[in-house]
Amino acid sequence: MFSAVVSTSAALGRPFVFEDEADGEMRSLPGTRQVPEEALVGTAALSRPVEGSSTIWEALQSTIKNQQSRIPPARVTSASRLEVRPAPEMVSSGIPALDSLTGGLPRGCLTEICGPASSGRTTVLLAALAAATRRGEYCAVIDASDALDPHSAAASGIDLDRLLWVRCGEDSPQRDRDTEEKEKEKQKRGCPISRAPFARESGNFVQAKFNFDAKENMARENVSRQSEHRLEQVLRATDLLLESGGFGLIVLDLSDLPSQSARRIPLTTWFRFRRAVEHKPTILLAIEQHPIAGSCSTLLLQLGTQNDSEEATQRTQIANPTHANLLDGLNVHAELSRSRIDRKPAHSVAFATKTAWAG
């Protein structure tokens, strides 16, 4: 005795049939896949019903049989026959030490560079931009916190004519309209604090404390709202630029966004970005404090300054008078946290950066 179901896809209810497994019987009856009924016993969806519902069970089975016989099976290539994805083209990041660590930046992939403040993220970003513009490519920086310093960019050797700078911030037209509408609504409803009954009934101290808490909450809400708004701008601008195409390097600078806000970017968004750059000669680079793209990034570089406390102590010891001191650069320590590219290089390197005035 045979039943009719092997498995069904969630969306269509089409049976999956592996090409290798198709037997002669099935080939003689195209569109059906039959396995012994015992194999189905115990599956959650089609387990034996309780007593008294056998008629319904049979009706259901026959319905499924009919449906399965009508829908042709979807051919699924077995994993052993899947095409091997070609290795991405690697291009120079502009810093030889990083190139020796990662082999360069992969085209058509998402690369994450993360680290705390003063860890050299922006230096790496500008070096990558400079290298790309030297190759004659057009680049775009989507700057979530409007932090790019034009003089540093010029000093890094970026061809500014080839750099598109998208400065995300507060005074966007959409934002203005939304704010106006919200303020109007607020005016209509009145201030929530003044309407709170306990605020009027309590003494001055309570009122003052409440106002202080409210202010703090409002400030926190403001920061959160600003970050969300910037994030929304960044994601929309990135989508548009990826769709437009033709850029050699697109950078998402999320360095100054609070980690909580940056982590709110859904994984599906990163997956979409990764799919958008796939098979294109574009490098998608994300600069952030902590890794947020998960498995969607092909390369993940963790940056930090080398022996921070020791360095500061050394600087303190040397210092005096202060005008004899000079910030001549940073010592950056880069660690390769993840790489999908088949390489076995060193896992970390160190390199030094120089300030523009250090000569």
Partner 1 sequence: MPFACIYVPNFPIAAALRAEPELQAHPLAILEGKPPLEKVIAVNAHAEHLTITPGMTKTQAELCSELVLRARSALQESSAHAALLDCAQSFSPCVEDAACDTVLLDLAGMESLFGSLNKISRAIFDRAAALGLKTNIAIASNPDAALLAARGFSGVTVIPAGKEAEHLGSLPVEVLFSDRLEDEEKKSANCLLETLARWGIRNLRALAALPIVALSERLGQQGLHLQKLARGAVARTLVPIEAPLIFEEAVELEHPIVLLEPLAFLLNRLLEQLCARLGSRALATQELRLTLELSNLTGIDDESVNTGIPSENDTVDSNKNLWGQPLSAARQSEAPLAHSRHPKFTRKLNLPLPMLDAKVFLKLLQLDLNAHPPGAPIMKIHLAAEPARPRSAQGGLFLPPSPEPEKLELTLARIAGIVGEHKVGALELLDTHHPEGFRMRRFVAEVARKIPPKKTPDAAEAQSAVTALRRFRPPLRANVTLENGQPAYLVCRRKDVQGDVLWKAGPWRFSGDWWEREAWSRDEWDLALRNGETVSFYRLVHDLLGGGWFVEGTYD
Restricting to residues 287-316, name those near partner 1 by CB under 8 A: 304-305, 308-309, 311-312, 315-316
Contact call for residues 253 and 287 (beta carbons, < 8 A): yes
Q: Rule CB under 8 A: is residue 168 a binding residue for partner 1?
A: yes
Q: Which residues pair with 123 in a beta bridge?
A: none
Instruction: Please state the closest distance from residue 304 (CB atom) to partner 1, in A.
Output: 7
CA torsion, points 208, 210, 213, 217, in degrees to nearest 10? -130
Task: Select 41 or 164, whichever has its Cβ closest to partner 1.
Answer: 164
Least distance to partner 1 from the beta carbon of 125, Å? 7
Q: Are strands 110-114 and 299-305 parallel, antiparallel or unpaired?
A: parallel
Among positions 119, 227, 261, 297, the unique one binding partner 1 when judged by CB under 8 A: 119
Q: Which of 75, 135, 290, 343 binds partner 1 (CB under 8 A)?
A: 135
In angstroms and rounded to an integer, the radius of gyration of the C-alpha atoms of the chain is 30
In DSSP terms, 332 is beta-bridged to: 305, 351
Phi, psi (rounded to 5 degrees) for 284: -105, 120
Taking the complex as a whole, the smallest distance from the CB of residue 266 to partner 1 amounts, in Å, to 19
- Amino acid present at 261: S
Residue 194 exposed, middle or buried by CB count within 10 Å (0-12, 13-18, 19+): exposed
Q: In which region does residue 38 sit, left (phi positive, over 0), alpha (psi from -120 to 50) or beta (all else)? A: alpha
Name which of 73 and 248 has its Cβ closer to partner 1. 248
Which of 13, 30, 36, 150 lies at the binding interface for partner 1 (CB under 8 A)? 150
Comparison of 29 and 356: residue with beta carbon closer to partner 1: 356
Chosen residue from 4, 101, 114, 163 binding partner 1 by CB under 8 A: 163
Phi, psi for 128 (deg, rounded to 5)? -65, -40
Residue ranges in 179-238 that form contacts with partner 1 under rule CB under 8 A: 233, 236-237
Alpha helices in 245-307 (DSSP H): 259-262, 267-277
> Residue 287 CB, nearest distance to partner 1 (Å)?
9
Contacts with partner 1 in 317-356 (CB under 8 A)? 319, 322-323, 325-327, 329-330, 351-356
Q: How many angstroms separate the CA atoms of 42 and 354, rounded?
A: 67
- Of the candidate spans 26-34, 53-61, 124-132, 290-298, the one that interacts with partner 1 by CB under 8 A turns out to be 124-132
- Which residue, 32 or 255, has its beta carbon nearer to partner 1? 255
Q: Is 149 in the site for partner 1 (CB under 8 A)?
A: yes
Residue with Cβ nearer partner 1 (58 or 149): 149
Three-state SS at 223: helix
